[in-house]
Amino acid sequence: MDEELQKYLNDNNNNDPNTISEYEKLLQKEEADIREHISVEHQLKIQCEKFAEKLDILENERIFLISQIVRINI
């Protein structure tokens, strides 16, 4: 991103400190948005892992209960 910013600034011969500061602020905002997206993605991954673990537990309980019902009915 920094390379693209420098390329843009060089192409437009726009080295005004205020313009550079505005671009830096925009870049920081984009970086913050990316970090937030990664954070949410990690939270969702953790939540999915918890649900998968809970699903495994429930599946094992279901199998156990079915085997208990079969034994009682025999």
Position with higher pLDDT, 68 vs 2: 68
What does the pLDDT read at residue 12?
A: 62
Parent domain of 26: 2-73
Question: Distance between CA atoms of 50 and 44, rounded to whole angstroms?
Answer: 10
What does the pLDDT read at residue 41?
A: 98
Token digits for 13? 């011969």
pLDDT tens for 12-47 read: 655 566 777 888 899 999 999 999 999 999 999 999
Percent of the chain with pLDDT over 70: 84
Tally of structural domains, the chain: 1
The pTM assigned to this predicted structure is 0.59
Question: What's the half-sphere exposure (Cβ side, CA atoms, 13 Å) at 19?
Answer: 10
What does the pLDDT read at residue 65?
A: 95
